Chains A and B, each alone.
Chain A
Amino acid sequence: MAARTFTIDGQLISAREGETILQAARDHGIFIPTLCHLDGVSSVGACRLCLVEIEGSRMLRPACVTPVVEEMVVRTDTARLREYRRMIVELLFAERNHVCAVCVANGHCELQDLAVTVGMDHVRFDYTFPYCEVDISHPLFGIDHNRCVLCTRCVRVCDEVEGVHTWDVAGRGTDARVITDMRQPWGESHSCTSCGKCVLACPTGAIFRRGATVGEMERDRNKIAYIVAARDQRW
């Protein structure tokens, strides 16, 4: 496979053809924040946190789905990008009811980590305080839509890795919700195999083990990539 050489933040980078900017950056130890991206499943470029500047292009590009091009000049850490990233995280917090102090994922949450990373010391937008349901009808797991950021990791991992597609997204805009089967309670889903991959994949406290209390939802999100890699290597 042909190699591509280009620069990220002034650093000369060599990557394989077809690799994304995000993969190449990570291979070279350059940090680009992400939220909807999860190693092991396809990327959708939904959260926009990995937006980067590419010289010669007026548009910002999501690093997780943009392939590297020979001699491109990428910038990942400009004042404009920092401002946008912080604003994106603030909007995520303002959209639903994220209360870290009493959350099952407190201390183990990617959204919380992002807020720290982007320097979000407060939210400049009014909170919308929507009414969101909590569904703990499943015997092992629960979902609290208050904490969901619609990253769709659960949808992708269920479809692409478990092969079941219990999860999907219904509704639009502020009414959008991840749903199980035909929007029935999770405990009544016929397709769910109770494999728990969505629990592993969730970046926040939205999907959790039933009975978890504050800060108890530690999860190894790398397990999804591990399962995929292990499966690929079988013969």
Chain B
Amino acid sequence: MTRHILIDPVTRIEGHAKISIHLDDDGNVAEARFHVTEFRGFERFCEGRPFWEMPGITARICGICPVSHLLASAKAGDAILSVVIPPAAEKLRRLMNLGQIVQSHALSFFHLSAPDLLLGFDSNPAMRNIFGLMAADPTLARAGIRLRQLGQDIIAMLGGSKIHPAWAVPGGVRSAPTAAQRAGIVERLPEARATVLDALRRFKALLDTHAEEVAAFGNFPSLFLGLVGPNGEWEHYDGRLRVVDSGGAIIADQVDPSRYRDIIAEAVEPWSYLKMPYYRPRGYPGGMYRVGPLARLNICTRIGTLLADAELGEMRQRAGGIATSSFYYHYARLIEILAALERISLLLDDPDLDSPRLRAEAGVNRFEGVGVSEAPRGTLFHHYTVDANGLIQRVNLIIATGHNNLAMNRTIAQIARHFVRGDRICEGALNRVEAGIRAYDPCLSCSTHAAGTMPLTLTLVAADGTVLDEVRQG
């Protein structure tokens, strides 16, 4: 008899989702699916709004990484204005994005995933959370929380609030921090650096003891996509698109992000609100690619700062080149925190930040704008079309979690096949399936922004299982 295991809701992720695992007659895993059950609608209700308001509106897509939307949206606005923003504005935007990377990665690692990694996948589920971590290792938990706080404080220093700062605007930014505020951040960098180096040391020890998880947590060949600088260096705010395959071959490079449609197409499945983007030249679903910290480190030639480049070298050595196991996402996240801290340190000393020129003024000079930046979870696209006055006609958003959708489904199927057996389904195995999703640090609030034209089926089911109504669109 076929059986069906449902994990609902998936815990310690940002958003609402469920996982269903289908077993065949022999009790083996036939299929596993990651269902995103949230529905937002941003692409539809932004239509008709002035594009100047878009950074403020789209930042509301998410409370974890509002900064990413703010920046991608402001950049799409820059494109519509057809301006090059003042140097101080670009550097301040970069500074905010680095603060965002620090706080979001710290949240993912210390608050959400460290309980699995440091307390154990099979540890008591009642204690397998940040509170359990505080009890077991208060120093580490405190350091992790303080690391996240530093990232949040950088965002607040620039934007006036930690969450949803309406600070980046088409043409630049609204204000700059004072020298005293900057000095306050500089003071706290050594402690943050020590925290992340300690976490890296602990994580590397785990790689040796968790060989089974490394082998089974989304360990498969796929493409990796992200932004790189002009010489292939690590990039988080600007740059051009590069796609690398799991053998390390660069199959697309220096692609203008505004031409993203040449390389990315989106498919839709009826069982999830989350679209399934794929690399267009390889088709669906063969064009599966991954984005985010692991992809950024896999595609870049180098990071460009001393400590982070040393860690990147070690990671590549451990992985034997391109890291194909999604378990390495955690590793990549820690290295990116280190890279971000090093760059924050350099930026805070930059004399350009004292310039009072922060915002370029212009009218509507182009009717279409694409803004791309690297969110903590991966490459984020905001694509707007406006009318002659600047009212939004069309919005397309492609969000990091969406890019990873195919890979996440593949990952949970792989983990389920490895750890779940029909005759003995233990809690630790189910937790590993969830942890496979957690490795991608998905943000579902962000990724289900689409609406209106998306083909989807809505089914209304009564408690006894009878289908009351079904609506189809698209």
Contact = CB atoms under 8 A, between A and B. Distances in A.
Interface of A: 101-102, 104, 133-134, 136-137, 142, 187, 210-216
B166 A136 contact: no
Contact of A214 (B48, B53, B170, B391): B53
Q: Across chains A and B, which 9 residue pairs bring their CB atoms closest together, nearest first?
A: A214-B56, A214-B166, A213-B169, A102-B57, A136-B389, A102-B56, A211-B52, A137-B389, A213-B52
A142 B52 CA distance: 12
A101 B389 contact: no
27 contacts: A101-B56, A101-B60, A101-B164, A102-B53, A102-B56, A102-B57, A102-B166, A134-B49, A134-B50, A134-B391, A136-B389, A136-B391, A210-B52, A211-B52, A211-B170, A211-B361, A213-B52, A213-B53, A213-B55, A213-B56, A213-B169, A213-B170, A213-B174, A214-B56, A214-B166, A215-B166, A216-B174
A109 to B, nearest CB: 14
B99 interface: no
Given A101-B60, A210-B50, A213-B174, 15 more contacts: A101-B164, A102-B53, A102-B56, A102-B60, A134-B48, A134-B50, A136-B389, A142-B50, A210-B390, A211-B170, A213-B52, A213-B56, A213-B166, A213-B169, A215-B166
Contacts of B166: 102, 213-215
A136 to B, nearest CB: 5
Interface string B164-193: 101001100010000000000000000000
A143 to B, nearest CB: 11
Interface in B44-86: 48-50, 52-53, 55-57, 60
A114 B226 CA distance: 48
Interface of B: 48-50, 52-53, 55-57, 60, 164, 166, 169-170, 174, 361, 389-391
Nearest to A132: B48
Contacts of B390: 136, 210
A136 B50 contact: yes
Contacts of A213: 52-53, 55-56, 166, 169-170, 174
Given A102-B60, A213-B169, A214-B166, A133 B55 contact: no
B56 A133 contact: no
Nearest to A137: B389
Contacts of A104: 53
A211 B77 CA distance: 11
Given A136-B390, A136-B391, A212 B52 contact: yes
